[in-house]
Amino acid sequence: MKKYFVIGNPIEHSLSPELHNYWLKSNNIEGSYSKKKLNEHDLKNFFLRIKNEEISGANITVPFKKAVIPFLDELSVEAESTQSVNTIYLNKNKIIGHNTDINGFELAIKDCGFDVTGKKILILGAGGVVSSIIYALNKMKALEITICNRTKSKAEDMKFLYNDLIVINWGEIYDFDMIINATSVGLNKEEKLNLDISKFKSSNFFYDIIYNPPETNFLKDARNLGKKIQNGKRMFIHQAAQAFKIWHGIQPDIDDKVNRIIDK
């Protein structure tokens, strides 16, 4: 039986196993998908098991999206450009790293009917998923992408990948059309960003990468201000669907059951 994993640390919050196991079952594919909490020193052994075909594929989440790169034989163009890998598969005995977060984000934004073309976007955070979001926003022809991170040097580092990125200080306020929370603040429901979002008067769309819990304080505050909000659920589903397609050659259905799995 083929085995798939999502690896990360922490990993408890991940709903990937529920989703992939539902799709495996509904497509009559024999296989299992589980979550695995690893430490950095476990990665070598994990990738050996992939090479030996004990494990057929994996999703990679925080904090390993970049750290896995040295263990791979090849990167897709998207993974190479973003230096971020979320999907691993084996092809002719080579371990390939790909990035489905980019298309996941792009499809999610399209699902909610927001047109990024010509818009000014602010991203909060500079962690593992941010390079994928920037790549997708550029692909969707955003006018200007600004990033701000508590630790400014990490935001500055992003300029090595995207040299026309604008970096501002934490708490600086300018006019943006859309604000994206890509920090980990909100994964625990009570957590709150040290930022007064009511000051972003001209911003009408607030997006959070987090999907569990479904409404972070960032989104709740924006909703109370009458803003359009969206959580990371559709991005999560789309990135997973694309990983499934890579591994099994089938585009899985995004049906009501899928929505119920994420909303539970």
Nearer to ligand ATR, 55 or 221 (CB): 221
Least spacing, CB of residue 151 vs ligand ATR, in Å: 3
**Cβ 61 to ligand ATR shortest distance, Å:** 9
Closest CB to ligand ATR among residues 88, 158: 158
Closest separation in Å from C-beta 210 to ligand ATR: 10
Sheet holding 228-230, edge to edge: 166-167, 144-148, 120-124, 178-181, 205-208, 228-230
Residue from 151, 188, 198, 202 that binds ligand ATR (CB under 6 A)? 151
From 17-25, 119-127, 216-224, 235-243, span contacting ligand ATR (CB under 6 A):
119-127
Query: Please, which of residues 73-102 interact with ligand ATR by CB under 6 A?
Result: none
**By the rule CB under 6 A, 128 interacts with ligand ATR:** yes
Q: At its nearest, how many Å lie between ligand ATR and the CB of residue 155? A: 8
Determine if 183 is a binding residue for ligand ATR (CB under 6 A): yes
- Is residue 9 at the binding interface for ligand ATR, with CB under 6 A as the rule? no
Whole-number Å distance between alpha carbons of 170 and 25: 46
Number of residues that bind ligand ATR (CB under 6 A): 16
Place of tokens 């008067």: 201
Among 58, 178, 185, 219, the residue binding ligand ATR under the rule CB under 6 A is: 185
Told to check if 184 binds ligand ATR by CB under 6 A, we report yes
63 binds ligand ATR (CB under 6 A): yes
216 near ligand ATR (CB under 6 A): no
CA distance 102 to 136: 5
For the chain, the residue count is: 264
Active site residue 201: no
Residue 168 lies near ligand ATR (rule: CB under 6 A): no
Q: Which residue number, 28 or 194, has a Cβ lying nearer to ligand ATR?
A: 194
Q: List residues near ligand ATR by CB under 6 A.
A: 62-63, 125-129, 149-151, 154, 183-185, 193-194
